[in-house]
Amino acid sequence: MDALKKYHEENSERYLSELLDWLRIPSISADQKYKGDVQKAAQYLSDRFAEIGMDRVEIYPTAGHPIVYAEKILGKDVPTVLVYGHYDVQPPDPLELWTSPPFEPVIRDEKIFARGSCDDKGQVYMHVKAIEAMLRNGLLNCNIKCMIEGEEEVGSASLELFCEEYKSMLDCDVILISDTALISNSIPSITTGLRGLSYVEVTVVGPNKDLHSGVYGGAVANPVNVLCSMIDSLKDSNNHITIPGFYDQVELVSQEERAAMNEAPFNEEIYKEELGIQAVMGESGYTTLERTTIRPTLDVNGIWGGYIGEGAKTVLPSNAHAKISMRLVPHQDPNEITRLFTAHFKSIAPPGVKVAVQAHHGGYPVVIPVDSLEYKAAHQAMEVSFGKAPIPQRSGGSIPIVALFEKVLGVKSILMGFGLDSDDIHSPDEHFGLFNFYKGIETIPYFYQFYAQMKKDASV
């Protein structure tokens, strides 16, 4: 591993400048205007895979955005690791809140500022460079397959079909993913759970046109008022979600596990200070760590209707809209939750309005066992590179494809991410620490080394 250290030192500047070039390509999957750029970002990545000597480098077109594939196969007697990640990014809006433009990456305070720097191009690129270093130094000891998609931020619709179609090409022992966060740079952690997701858009329609709010106000249901009170009624005074059946399948986490969970380093004062809030708020009876990991949520992500232009226009709007996400925990089923939400939301509509509910993409929650060889290899890898044992911790975010990998490929994932919750992913000024980028590149080869060794020991 000394050879790797030397190689990394000699090439670290190039690693970074290549990543910055990739970050300059605005691969925004949600916006059709950027379809060409998403394609360019796929091309850039596949060129880098080819350059480092990967085989079978290919860009697979899909009904949506392309999937980049590359592999290095040594033989049947070593384990196969499938690396998954995504090169698409969230839209950068609101642009005016960025200190520097989202697709003109800059280094400030030892951090890379750009959309996608952490989520997930920066973390994918750690793998590309770790693989390069292993290949160049003859240290690769596992088969590696890389599958990097361009639709994660919009629901991974094409990837599910791709996995079904290319099941045998994707055959592997474990899936390795860096798309999550550490507790902090001095407290390494491995993500052992992700929440699921049900995402709906609701529309409340009242009168057949916008009305004068003086002439009609007081006599006709105002869809914006109605929508607000309907949403308000979805939680009681304990911030418990009121949809009948919503909690029926929720996994009951034992007192022991909850106690262990709350041992994790977390300072609520710093948390509040960083967010500029006076108090946290959530479901009664649970801590902040529990509320963001083992408990489901319901949040409005956007709400609109009526007049929002300059000045005051007196109008009673004809309709109102909201986008609502529900984060789910084991063993909630996103389809069932969407069904329960829809039935309930329609049932609470007062006479005088019509309600429509449209389902967007969703995903199943996952838990990652900590007693597998794969987990142990990741644990050891982090322990060596950080000089400290990593803590298992569930995350509040979602990566819906992880549950589908289990279902379609029958393979579990390891979530070895190197971001921080404070990296402002999906927000203005997204960033990724240089420490984190290089620490990832340093840690990944250890994973392969330990994993190959453990598999070998287990087979004799």
Helix, strand, or coil here: 285? Answer: coil
Structure tokens at 349: 């509509």
Choose the contact partner of 400 out of ligand BES, Mn ion, none; CB within 5 to 8 A by kind: ligand BES
Assigned token pair, 301: 């992500």
Can you read off the two tokens belonging to residue 418?
A: 């190197």
Q: What's the min distance (Å) between Cβ of 118 and Mn ion?
A: 8
Q: Which of 70, 171, 76 is nearest to 124 (CA)?
A: 70
In the list ligand BES, Mn ion, none, the entry touching 397 (Cβ below 5 to 8 angstroms by class) is: ligand BES
The DSSP result for 31-81, as a single string, is -GGGHHHHHHHHHHHHHHHHHTT-EEEEEE--SSS-EEEEEE---TTS-EE
User: Judged by CB under 6 A, does residue 430 bind ligand BES?
Assistant: no
Residues 104-133 that bind Mn ion (CB under 5 A): 119-120
Q: Judged by CB, which is closer to ligand BES: 305, or 397?
A: 397
Q: Is the dihedral of CA 430, 436, 438, 442 positive or negative?
A: negative
Q: What does 436 interact with, of Mn ion, ligand BES, none (CB < 5 to 8 A by kind)?
A: none
Q: Interface residues for Mn ion in 173-192 (CB under 5 A)? A: 179
Q: Considering the complex, what minimum distance in angstroms separates the CB of residue 275 from ligand BES?
A: 16
Pick between residue 102 and residue 155 the one whose CB is nearest to ligand BES. Answer: 155
CB of 327 to ligand BES, least distance (A): 8
Instruction: Choose among 146, 6, 144: nearest CA to 69.
Output: 146
Q: Measured from the CB atom, is 150 or 363 closer to ligand BES?
A: 363
CB 132 within 8 A of CB 452: no
Tokens of 444: 């990944």
Of 48 and 327, CB closest to ligand BES = 327
Total residues in contact with Mn ion, by rule CB under 5 A: 3
Going by the DSSP 8-state scheme, the letter that residue 317 receives in this structure is -
Alpha-carbon gap, residue 399 to 432, rounded angstroms:
19
Nearer to ligand BES, 71 or 153 (CB): 153
> Is 430 near Mn ion (CB under 5 A)?
no
Query: Hunting for tokens 């890389």 — which residue is that?
Result: 146
Q: Which of 37, 132, 152, 374 forms a contact with ligand BES (CB under 6 A)?
A: 152
If one asks whether residue 151 binds Mn ion (CB under 5 A), the answer comes out as: no
C-alpha distance from residue 287 to each of 195, 266, 271, 367, 433 (Å):
17, 11, 13, 20, 28
Contact range with ligand BES by CB under 6 A, out of 29-37, 125-133, 147-155, 315-323 = 147-155
- Contact between 219 and 316 (Cβ < 8 Å): no
Tell me which residue has tokens 């070039």.
21
Choose the contact partner of 40 out of Mn ion, ligand BES, none; CB within 5 to 8 A by kind: none
Q: With CB under 6 A as the contact rule, which of the stretches 4-12, 53-61, 152-160, 266-274 interacts with ligand BES? A: 152-160
The residues near 267 (Cβ < 8 Å, ≥ 6 apart) are: none
**Nearest residue (CB) to ligand BES, 305 versus 417:** 417
Which residues 338-377 are close enough to bind ligand BES by CB under 6 A? 361, 363
Which residues are near ligand BES by CB under 6 A?
119-120, 152-153, 155, 179-181, 197, 361, 363, 395, 397-400
